[in-house]
């Protein structure tokens, strides 16, 4: 029980520090955030194995942050080495070229792994692929 509480506290702390550390004040019209013109980021985690632990995925756009949790052993991910999440940011105007950040942190090692992107001028979702396998993290070292 203490390990679960500690893990939850660490993840919650990371989420709040990420949220308050990345506040930006620029908002210019490109994707208005109204109606069908909503900024979307599709984050795909791949390289998932039976030994993959829970993973928190965090997406930050301007002054908005969204979080999703991948739970290991979830029936929807069994038999697949990847999972995708759609993060939507309604009521957020995102300028062409404005940056966004997608980060993951695993309860296995608590290392933050981030990918930066820029809003494309095309009216489509942004796509980010992140390899969460242990082999990828060993190569990065």
Q: What is the CATH number of the domain that holds 77?
A: 2.60.40.10
State the total domains in the chain: 1
Task: Say if residues 62 and 94 touch (Cβ distance below 8 Å).
Answer: yes
pLDDT for 50-80, tens place per residue? 888 899 999 999 889 999 999 876 645 555 7
Q: Say what the pLDDT of residue 36 is.
A: 62
Q: Report the alpha-carbon angle 111-51-104, nearest 5.
A: 30
For the entire predicted model, the pTM comes to: 0.67
Q: Say what the pLDDT of residue 85 is.
A: 94
* Tokens of residue 116, six digits: 């930066």
Residue ranges for the chain with pLDDT beneath 50:
23-29, 75, 136-141
Q: Say what the pLDDT of residue 116 is.
A: 94
Q: Say what the pLDDT of residue 19 is.
A: 53
Helix H or strand E encompassing 98: none
Q: Which domain holds residue 105?
A: 2-140
Backbone phi, then psi, for 99, in 5-degree steps? -85, 155
* Tokens of residue 24, six digits: 């930006």
96: left (phi over 0), alpha (psi -120 to 50) or beta: beta
């Amino acid at each position: 029980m203490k390990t679960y509480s500690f893990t939850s506290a660490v993840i919650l702390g990371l989420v709040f520090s990420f949220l308050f550390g990345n506040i930006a004040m620029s908002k210019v019209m490109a994707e208005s955030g109204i109606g069908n013109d909503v900024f979307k980021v599709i984050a795909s985690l791949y390289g998932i194995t039976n030994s993959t632990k829970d993973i928190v995925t965090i997406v930050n756009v301007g002054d908005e942050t969204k979080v999703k949790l991948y739970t290991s052993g979830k029936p929807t991910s069994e038999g697949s080495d990847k999972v995708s999440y759609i993060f939507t940011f309604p009521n957020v105007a995102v300028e062409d070229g404005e940056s966004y950040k997608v980060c993951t942190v695993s309860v296995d090692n608590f290392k933050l792994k981030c990918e930066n992107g820029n809003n494309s001028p095309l009216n489509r979702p942004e796509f980010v692929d992140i390899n969460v396998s242990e082999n990828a993290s060993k190569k990065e070292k």
